[in-house]
Structure 1
Amino acid sequence: MGRVQDKVALVTGGASGIGLSSATLLAKEGAKVVIADFNVDGAKEAAERIKAEGGEAVGIFLDAGDENSIKEAVEFTVEQYGKITVLYNNVGSTNLQKDLDVVNMDLNEWDRLMNLNLKSVLLGSRFAIPHMIKSGGGSIINTASMAGFFGDSIRAAYGASKAGVVNLTRYIAAQYGKNHIRCNAVAPGLILTPAAKNNMPPDVLDIFAKYNALPYHGEPDDIGNTVLFLASDESKFITGQTIQVEGGHYIANPTSPDFEEFMKKS
């Protein structure tokens, strides 16, 4: 207990999934948490559950595609708790019907994802950093994605936006480290959030499992615990990094599982 005692955290996209796990773990370990989400009812319900378990949290509305909304969320956090020392830029989105290959993607979807997935990280950091400097430093954590490191047959805009998050993380770390501000990112692989469980057929989950180094899928707390570590002083000498939390899905030669099956049949 107390790994982030007296820290003040703003968690965007915190009403469900990875954001909810992170907010809950941060509060459990002593942080005061503002949960900001477009689903404001979900954010408020999450805050009430945290308070019922003895934590300190409040839920507010956030439209991460709107600059003023992001600024208001940061300012609310400072007004509510006197400072902001942890910012978790977690909001992200994709649309598999519109975010296709380079030739066929909807260009409006490209603009939407660059604004929502990448510019929101820039703006959240832009508004939080001056407050962090005043309070002696802080930790900024961004949700990237393994899609930011590898190509795929679809989701070109999503992958490009997340690659931007990876490099923006380095820039923030380099520019504000002397102000005692660290900036890191987490790159999840497939995580069994409620959305993934509800939208991915078992056969698709089996395909992912085939290529994992570990014999199981990730859970929201696998990311939440990484966020907690990066928010805490345990990671005080880590900055500019993107931690890949993906079960070893990408570490092997991609032909390895198929080659193993071939060898079994030989």
Structure 2
Amino acid sequence: MSYFEGKNVVVTGGTGILCKAMAEFLVKEGANVAVLSRGEEAGLSVEEELSGQLGKCKFIQCDVLDEDSVKNAKKNFNETFGTCNILINGAGGNNPKASTTFETHTDATVEGQGFKDLDLKSFSKTMDLNFMGTVIPTQIFAEDMVDDGNGTILNISSMSAFAPMTKVPAYSAGKASINNFTQWLAVYYGEANIRVNAIAPGFFITKQNHDLLIDSNGKYTERAQKILNNTPMNRFGDPQDLIGPVKWLLNDEESNFVTGVVVPIDGGFMAYSGV
């Protein structure tokens, strides 16, 4: 019998490529998984695709930045599956209006978007999506874990949390806050027997970054090649590369004394100095 059989799991941002892979693994292991997302069409598609396996999958429409929406999602989840045992905070993303066109100030031209040109509302929204989009669901769903005296929370960080990637200051700052918040929560919930950890995926080709990494001819862009040149394993990650570490961090029988850590899954990117 799998450790995850019968566990009740919430995955925010569950329609994205990486979090969908996690949800699929958990359903196959026998867990009851709720995929939370704003997009109804994408959410129902994931529900249909993952249903009929050992576990169960249900789409619940939810805006992680709207407290009432998350509370309603929790009510729906509790009525469907019961209390939440595992929370994966996968909601996040970037906004082009919060990104610069060039890597440095000296590269900027009047035709590009420099730091001074960034739309502050988009900057704030990106920060909120990556940080408050983790804070709010945790605040609401963790109460089930407090009542049960047990639970596991997994946050999704990024390589950009350790050393900010060029062009994406808001996204980088938002993900850096995830690392700090993960450690804070681990301390806060330690005596409540709730473990809080994070993974920091390296570079995976997703819907969000596809056009930045693959050009119209299907070839790697200059930015993609720069990433590969700094990744010792010389490839992009596959969603299945996340499953082993996720399985370990979510399993109390395998990582019961592990809390407050951020695990890089990056093909060696963070270890490489560039020389």
TM superposition score normalised by structure 1: 0.89
- In the alignment, the residues of structure 2 paired with residue 98 and residue 249 of structure 1 have an alpha-carbon distance, to the nearest angstrom, of 25
Structure 1: gaps (5+ residues): 257-266
Matching residue of 1:207: 226
| Higher deviation after alignment, 11-20 or 223-232 | 223-232
Offset, 1:80: 1.2
Offset, 1:25: 0.6
Matching residue of 2:108: none
Matching residue of 1:67: 67
In the TM superposition, 1:174-189 aligns within 5 A as: 174-189=187-202
Matching residue of 1:55: 55
Matching residue of 2:267: 247
Amino acid at match of 1:114: M
Q: Percent identity?
A: 28
Amino acid at match of 1:153: T
- In the alignment, the residues of structure 2 paired with residue 49 and residue 183 of structure 1 have an alpha-carbon distance, to the nearest angstrom, of 29
In the TM superposition, 1:55-204 aligns within 5 A as: 55-100=55-100, 102-197=115-210, 199-201=212-214, 202-203=220-221, 204=223
Structure 2: gaps (5+ residues): 101-113, 215-219
TM superposition score normalised by structure 2: 0.86
- In the alignment, the residues of structure 1 paired with residue 58 and residue 228 of structure 2 have an alpha-carbon distance, to the nearest angstrom, of 37
Paired positions, count: 255
Offset, 1:199: 4.8
- In the alignment, the residues of structure 1 paired with residue 126 and residue 244 of structure 2 have an alpha-carbon distance, to the nearest angstrom, of 26
Please tell me whether the aligned partners of residues 193 and 220 of structure 1 are also in contact (alpha carbons under 8 angstroms): no
The alignment yields a C-alpha RMSD, in angstroms, of: 1.8
* Cα offsets for 1:63-84 (capped at 9, x unmatched): 1222211222223222211110
Please tell me whether the aligned partners of residues 35 and 59 of structure 1 are also in contact (alpha carbons under 8 angstroms): yes
Offset, 1:11: 0.3
Amino acid at match of 1:215: N
Please tell me whether the aligned partners of residues 16 and 42 of structure 1 are also in contact (alpha carbons under 8 angstroms): no
**Residue 199 of structure 2: SS of its match in structure 1?**
strand
